[in-house]
Structure 1
Amino acid sequence: MSPGASYPGMGHLSRLQVRTWIEPVVASSQVAASLYDAGLLLVVKEHYGSGASSNHSASPSPRGALEDQQQKAISNFYIIYNLVVGLSPLLSAYGLGWLSDRYHRKVSICVSLLGFLLSRLGLLLKVLLDWPLEVMYGAAALNGLCGGFSAFWSGVMALGSLGSSEGRRSLRLIVIDLILGLAGFCGSMASGHLFKQIAGRSRQGLVLAACSVSCAIFSLFYSLLVLKVPESVGKSSKALATVDTVSGMVGTYRTLDPDQPEKHNVERHPPPPGKEKPQKTIIVLLFMGAIIYDLAVVGTVDVMPLFVLRAPLSWNQVQVGYGMAAGYIIFITSFLGVLVFSRCFHFRDTTMIVIGMVSFGSGALLLAFVKKTYMFYIARAIMLFALIPITTIRSAMSKLIKDSSYGKVFVILQLSLALTGVVTSVVFNELYQLSMEKFIGTCFVLSSFLSFLAIIPVGIVACKLAPWLQYGDVMEK
């Protein structure tokens, strides 16, 4: 007789004992990332600021000209840095996704976390030993060759999808994003204060870099020694029989309407002839919507740190940390948005995606005309649902593919976003330099346009699903 049979609670207790969560990995790695991002920006600013000061003492020039010179130098650094960060994962991320699907789900997560640790160590050594700033290109390359964020996040999404049912997957994935946002918020809030812990240019940022490395070490060892791969939450035999009976109609209906309650007592019949499940078309359109929207987001996120450092805002280290923390509030509001829209209003995924795109586009447009700090935070507040589109698109796609392909499909999506993000980063940084003397908000206006443009493929998805949704509603009445 098994222990579970002798003691009814033992089986449940054993399951609880072996179950672990991906959230500690996400939280610790994101704290490390937020500290690293803020620290790198401030280190780069101090590096080029000291160079501009020495040039200024040799040959006096107007403050505005020196500020523009510093901005262009920082922008040029980030153009090369973002190219390295975006292109280097192309060599390894897909292979890691394939290995994760074929051998072990933790491969892509653990290898990419090793790359994260190496890059954080690069910043620590740069500050500690006063190495040249160019060493950060090498640190970014090591990070990318280990898979980078593309491999890491595709692995996290795969584990999150495996451990959740289709009906709760959108909520499950947005909860992981919520943890990411909360961790990033805490890290960003502390970053400015940690950066100033040691006085003097040569060692400023040492405490911040050391904290980032410590968090990266914790996330790597937790994923290696503690994290367990969850068992796939499959559908019940009754649900599977229902799906087979209706020839995919329920699958299409529930794919983009995951939070509708199960109706086991409803009789369903095959759909009318000619109405086949448009999975491939939906996946392509969702890819298009995600890529166009990511162009808008990357363009804004890459330019925003440069925007706040110069006039009219001219933020200091603490204000930079607070500004980055404000960006992470979006993770919380997006989570609440998915929770309310899906549970209370029963919105479809396509509706929530459009709401998120409109939210970000409106905020980016207002950001173009920011002159005061309070206006910046108002623009960020309007972007409160900006995270919903990409997360919900991932959730929708996970229900259109087999769980054995999660690693490959998610990493392809992430690499597509990374590759287009690299191109966008270069273009927007060049555009920002050209627009500094004219209209500095040009980049934000373009981001707003791209965000609204991304609504088109999502709207087509909603229209293609309309016959199925109408048919499903009729059959349930």
Structure 2
Amino acid sequence: MGPEAACSGWGLLSRLRVRTWIEPVVASTQVASSLYEAGLLLVVKASFGAGASSNHSASPSPRGALEDQQQRAISNFYIVYNLVVGLTPLLSAYGLGWLSDRYHRKISICVALLGFLLSRLGLLLKVLLDWPVEVLYGAAALNGLCGGFSAFWSGVMALGSLGSSEGRRSVRLILIDLTLGLAGFCGSMASGHLFKQMTGHSGQGLVLTACSVSCATFALFYSLLVLKVPESMAGPGKALPAVDMVSGTVGTYRALDPDQLDKQSVVGHPLSPGKAQPPRTIIALLFLGAIIYDLAVVGTVDVMPLFMLREPLSWNQVQVGYGMAAGYTIFITSFLGVLVFSRCFQDTTMIMIGMVSFGSGALLLAFVKETYMFYIARAVMLFALIPVTTIRSAMSKLIKGSSYGKVFVILQLSLALTGVVTSTVYNKIYQLTMEKFIGTCFALSSFLSFLAIIPIGCGTQPDLSSDCPALRPFPGPYFYGSLC
């Protein structure tokens, strides 16, 4: 009877651990989001295309002029839409993060998923009832008032950090990103085909939006009824010190991993406090690097759908879905990159590798003329996801677990706020330069990506105590640190 009781207890424990996995929520939410993003672009394009054709039925214009007019209309729509999406979470996301830290970790996730569901329903009703596209602004506002992606992703990162040890946290968080990427890839690949399932202006996109609503509904009910909050894996002896109490060694290059603190005291290589960066300075520089890098990424992501629809690519619905799916492959390659690089490099080195990868790919994207060139540029961005995810991991090692929700939501809101400004500026730049040099925005993103390396390098100092050459950071931080 003893072995049977032990087996039943083990089975119950395994089921409880499965219920702490956040991946099913992330996967279903991202499938819904990828279907929604593709559907939003194609529905808005169809709406403005119909309007343009009716306005010019009596006096036909050249195809290029109609295309430019449609591009400007879509771009102006996204300027307002992104402003609503980016600014409305500022009213609620921090409060949801505070409530999650104080009462229950699932609050920010569940409330944000309710907003996701309402926004997807808004697109479904627009397609079903042929409402004007301005209705989507209201749906986006409801999404933002429920916390939006800022509240959702900060809650996901908090649960992922709680359920992982410090030494494996970078891998744990990038695994969550991998789940998001695989789900987004599948959703984007199917989006173009689902959009074409029903023909006619009123029914086009109905199947796509209905699938998006179904996935969002599943994510909400799973998070409410199935998901459990994991217990913290940091033992009593591994409790993180408060930010104000951390010794000067936290400012070393290896200080992004608190496990190195004990190792340094054992081998007898303490660094002088005068040469160490204060922890608040490190966190501020990590914030700055993440924001600059996010400016580059958001600008590229916002302009890329318009770039796909216009010459020289001029893609159809299926090709647009494939192009969006190509962007999600970086989740797979970034995950593999973290698995390999985390064995040889510290967090800061991995961050800079990702920034160089994205900056190089964005520069190639600026000169794309053919379809194959687009996919080559996307392939060069294979490690583009590493920086922000690793920055979150590094920050989680410098703060207490009870502050994860607030700190992560502050970071996410900072990224969202700068993303709003970036979206507006990039869309205006795109409108002004699309006839002269359509790759101007991508070239600017490349510059910003390389610029983001500087604060990351300035915030660290080399630790030469390691006897293993593979574990010593490569020369990047030394050079940028000398500039500061």
CA contact (8 A) 2:251 2:282 kept: no
Instruction: Give the counterpart of 1:353 among 351, 354, 375.
Output: 351
The alpha-carbon deviation at position 16 of structure 1 amounts to 1.7
The alpha-carbon deviation at position 250 of structure 1 amounts to 7.4
**Superposition pairs of residues 356-367 of structure 1, within 5 angstroms:** 356-367=354-365
Q: What SS does the aligned partner of 2:464 have?
A: helix
Could you give the per-residue CA deviations for residues 139-158 of structure 1, whole angstroms, max 9, x where no partner exists?
Answer: 00000000000000000000
User: Take 1:228 and 1:163, find their aligned partners in 2: how far apart are those partners?
Assistant: 11
User: Take 1:78 and 1:240, find their aligned partners in 2: how far apart are those partners?
Assistant: 42
The alpha-carbon deviation at position 237 of structure 1 amounts to 2.9
Q: 2:287 is matched by which residue type in structure 1?
A: F
User: Take 2:373 and 2:195, find their aligned partners in 1: how far apart are those partners?
Assistant: 26
Q: What SS does the aligned partner of 1:302 have?
A: helix
CA contact (8 A) 2:178 2:331 kept: yes
| Partner residue in 2 for 1:184 | 184
CA contact (8 A) 2:157 2:173 kept: yes
The alpha-carbon deviation at position 277 of structure 1 amounts to 6.2
Q: 1:393 is matched by which residue type in structure 2?
A: I
**Superposition pairs of residues 463-474 of structure 1, within 5 angstroms:** 465-466=461-462, 469-471=463-465
Distance 1:252 1:234, change over 3 A: farther
CA contact (8 A) 2:248 2:272 kept: no
CA contact (8 A) 1:167 1:260 kept: no
Q: Does 1:217 align with 2:211?
A: no
Q: Does 1:89 align with 2:89?
A: yes
| Partner residue in 2 for 1:397 | 395
User: Take 2:321 and 2:467, find their aligned partners in 1: how far apart are those partners?
Assistant: 49
TM-score (norm 2): 0.91
Could you give the per-residue CA deviations for residues 80-105 of structure 1, whole angstroms, max 9, x where no partner exists?
Answer: 00000000000000000000000000
CA contact (8 A) 1:259 1:342 kept: no
Distance 1:351 1:188, change over 3 A: same
Distance 1:57 1:104, change over 3 A: same
User: Take 2:153 and 2:239, find their aligned partners in 1: how far apart are those partners?
Assistant: 30
User: Take 2:317 and 2:173, find their aligned partners in 1: how far apart are those partners?
Assistant: 33
**Superposition pairs of residues 27-426 of structure 1, within 5 angstroms:** 27-235=27-235, 237=237, 249=249, 255-257=255-257, 266-268=266-268, 271-272=271-272, 274=274, 278-343=278-343, 346-426=344-424
Could you give the per-residue CA deviations for residues 319-361 of structure 1, whole angstroms, max 9, x where no partner exists?
Answer: 0000000000010000011111112xx1111111111111111
User: Take 1:356 and 1:253, find their aligned partners in 2: how far apart are those partners?
Assistant: 18
The alpha-carbon deviation at position 57 of structure 1 amounts to 1.6
| Partner residue in 1 for 2:478 | none
User: Take 2:293 and 2:31, find their aligned partners in 1: how far apart are those partners?
Assistant: 25
The alpha-carbon deviation at position 13 of structure 1 amounts to 3.5
The alpha-carbon deviation at position 18 of structure 1 amounts to 1.6
Structure 2 residues not aligned, in runs of 5+: 472-484
CA contact (8 A) 2:249 2:273 kept: no
Deviates more, 1:398-407 or 1:262-271: 262-271
User: Take 1:233 and 1:251, find their aligned partners in 2: how far apart are those partners?
Assistant: 24
Q: What SS does the aligned partner of 1:401 have?
A: coil
CA contact (8 A) 1:110 1:224 kept: yes
Distance 1:131 1:298, change over 3 A: same
The alpha-carbon deviation at position 235 of structure 1 amounts to 3.8
Q: 2:81 is matched by which residue type in structure 1?
A: Y
Distance 1:239 1:107, change over 3 A: closer
User: Take 1:148 and 1:6, find their aligned partners in 2: how far apart are those partners?
Assistant: 46
Could you give the per-residue CA deviations for residues 243-301 of structure 1, whole angstroms, max 9, x where no partner exists?
Answer: xxx95747966543589899699555755454556211110000000000000001100
After the TM superposition, list the runs of 4 or more consecutive aligned residues in structure 1 that deviate by more than 6 angstroms. Answer: 3-6, 238-241, 258-265
User: Take 1:89 and 1:133, find their aligned partners in 2: how far apart are those partners?
Assistant: 21
Sequence identity of aligned pairs in percent?
A: 81
CA contact (8 A) 2:334 2:383 kept: yes
User: Take 1:279 and 1:4, find their aligned partners in 2: how far apart are those partners?
Assistant: 51
Distance 1:303 1:470, change over 3 A: same
User: Take 1:471 and 1:339, find their aligned partners in 2: how far apart are those partners?
Assistant: 23
Q: 1:374 is matched by which residue type in structure 2?
A: Y
The alpha-carbon deviation at position 14 of structure 1 amounts to 3.3
Q: 1:470 is matched by which residue type in structure 2?
A: L
Q: 1:144 is matched by which residue type in structure 2?
A: G
| Partner residue in 1 for 2:428 | 430
User: Take 1:231 and 1:4, find their aligned partners in 2: how far apart are those partners?
Assistant: 27
User: Take 1:189 and 1:370, find their aligned partners in 2: how far apart are those partners?
Assistant: 22
Could you give the per-residue CA deviations for residues 416-460 of structure 1, whole angstroms, max 9, x where no partner exists?
Answer: 000000000000000000002211111111111000100100111
User: Take 2:235 and 2:370, find their aligned partners in 1: how far apart are those partners?
Assistant: 53
CA contact (8 A) 1:257 1:347 kept: no
User: Take 2:328 and 2:249, find their aligned partners in 1: how far apart are those partners?
Assistant: 38
Q: What SS does the aligned partner of 1:470 have?
A: coil
TM-score (norm 1): 0.92
CA contact (8 A) 2:250 2:258 kept: no
The alpha-carbon deviation at position 461 of structure 1 amounts to 2.0
Deviates more, 1:154-163 or 1:3-12: 3-12
RMSD: 2.6
Instruction: Give the counterpart of 1:453 among 448, 451, 466.
Output: 451
User: Take 1:338 and 1:171, find their aligned partners in 2: how far apart are those partners?
Assistant: 7
Q: What SS does the aligned partner of 1:324 have?
A: helix
Could you give the per-residue CA deviations for residues 198-217 of structure 1, whole angstroms, max 9, x where no partner exists?
Answer: 01011100000000000000
User: Take 1:276 and 1:359, find their aligned partners in 2: how far apart are those partners?
Assistant: 29
Distance 1:301 1:120, change over 3 A: same
Q: What SS does the aligned partner of 1:98 have?
A: helix
CA contact (8 A) 1:170 1:258 kept: no
CA contact (8 A) 2:99 2:107 kept: yes
Distance 1:93 1:362, change over 3 A: same
Could you give the per-residue CA deviations for residues 131-171 of structure 1, whole angstroms, max 9, x where no partner exists?
Answer: 11100000000000000000000000000000000000000
Q: What SS does the aligned partner of 1:437 have?
A: coil
Query: How many matched pairs?
Result: 464
User: Take 2:53 and 2:131, find their aligned partners in 1: how far apart are those partners?
Assistant: 20
Q: 2:365 is matched by which residue type in structure 1?
A: L
